Amino acid sequence: MSTEKKWVTASDVARLAGVSRSAVSRAFTPGASVAPETRRRVEEAARELGYQVNILARSMNKGRSNFVGLVTAGFSNAFRNQLIGPLTHQLARQGLIPLLVNAEDSYQQAPGLRDLMSYHVAGIIMTSGAPPLSLAQEYVARSIPVVIINRDTDLPGTDVVYSDNVDGARQAARWLQQRGCQRPAFIGEQPANFSTRQRRDAFCQALTNATCIDVNGSDYHAGFNAVAQLQTCTDIDGVFCATDTLALGLRDALSQHPSLSSLPLVGFDDIPEAGYAARQLTTLRQDVERLAGEAVSLLIQRMEDDQRPPVKKVVPVQLIARR
């Protein structure tokens, strides 16, 4: 006896439900017209048979799938990880399925991005730190809608949504001023990073006596090691870090230097660890739910009209004062 698995087809469902093959197709197509009784019979037959819609076959028929490429740069960045859940939730609400691509690995980057095209993706969402924007241009050239989060570009046919880094930096400056800080420092990775550049420039405009310290990276170790540069600066009386992860690393390093351990410190992102009882870091909260919602909304609009002018959405941030 053959043990080969037999896939249940739409025709099998149609026979059991006593309806046409096209009725089965309409019953599983969002927005399609189908009588309630017919839908009920089809759904009951599908459950009994264990039928699942062949999404890949459907994409071949209509030239575009329900897949959306979600391109991120690794999974070690706490803030970018916070975005994944809301993005997948918002996509699911629109009947879209995320295909997650890790663009951090240069060896897998090009094959992974090419694979997205082979799945006939309906669109692409790129998070901060993802591949060069030239890759977004390749998708746009193939009429694939692209939305970019927390980066900036004037690429035609590409929409952008990012947090209000400028206002966030000004809020950080006011918070430090309220604590008597007159010569604070800004610590962030190289200014080629869009968010870091906006935060640094706005902070230094608000506090002209601020000292800018560039570090190699935005992770915990970069923040921890920044204390050595901080010690070479005179009269620093407060610190604004471009990310919470930098700030948490710096705080741990400052705790080993009694003369610096009480410096007022503010971060940016409001990652979960910033709110831990042992951390209690003052920070600027990025609204990940709204970032995700705006990104998916822009993607849907671009899918419906790929000739619309590029749109840029700026999402407010909130100061979370802790200690």
- Could you read off the pLDDT of 65-93 as tens digits, one per residue? 789 999 887 777 888 889 999 999 999 98
pLDDT on residue 54: 63
Please state the rounded mean pLDDT for residues 219-224. Answer: 94
Is the domain of 37 the same as that of 143? Answer: no
Domain count, the chain: 3
Residue in the structure block whose two tokens are 């009725």? 23
Same-domain pairing of 192 and 218: yes
Counting residues of the chain whose pLDDT is more than 90, the rounded percentage is 54
pLDDT for res 5: 54
| Co-location of 174 and 158 in the same domain | no
Q: Pairing between strand 312-315 and 146-149?
A: unpaired
SS3 for 118-136 is HCCCCEEEECCCCCCHHHH
Whether residue 4 is predicted with pLDDT greater than 60 in this model: the reply is: no
Instruction: Tell me, yes or no, whether 141 and 170 share the same domain.
Output: no
Q: Above 80 in pLDDT, residue 115?
A: no
Instruction: Provide mean pLDDT across the span 96-116.
Output: 73
CB count within 10 Å of CB 295 equals 29
Higher pLDDT, 133 or 226: 226
Confidence of residue 155 (pLDDT cuts 50, 70, 90): confident
- 62-91 burial code (b ≥16 CB/10 A, e <16): eebbbbbbbbbbeeebbbbbbbbebbbebb
- What is the predicted pLDDT for the residue at 323? 75
With 80 as the cut, is the pLDDT of residue 108 above it? no
Q: What is the pLDDT of residue 55?
A: 60
Tell me the percentage of the chain whose pLDDT exceeds 70.
Answer: 90
Q: Do 295 and 159 sit in the same domain of this protein?
A: yes
CATH number reported for the structural domain that contains residue 77 in this entry:
3.40.50.2300
- Cβ proximity of 185 and 213 under 8 Å: yes
How high is the pLDDT of residue 304?
87
Q: How confident is the model at residue 1 (pLDDT cuts 50, 70, 90)?
A: very low
Say if residue 7's pLDDT is above 90: no
Residue 105 falls inside a structural domain:
yes
The model carries a pTM of 0.80
Residue 278 lies in a domain: yes
Across residues 7-30, what is the average pLDDT? 86
Q: Is residue 320 part of a domain?
A: no
User: For 176-205, how does the pLDDT look when each residue is reduced to its tens digit (9 = 90+)?
Assistant: 999 999 999 999 987 778 999 999 999 999
Range 55-61, long-range pairs (CB < 8 A, 24+ positions): 55/97, 56/119, 59/119, 59/120, 60/120
Q: Give me the amino acid identity at 280.
A: Q
CA angle at residue 113 from 109 to 115, to 5 degrees?
Answer: 120
Residues 129, 176 within the same domain:
no
Residues 95, 22, single domain; the answer is no
The 3-state DSSP class for residue 147 equals strand
Q: How many CA atoms lie within 13 A of 320 on its CB side?
A: 19
> Whole domain around residue 130: which residue ranges?
63-163+288-315
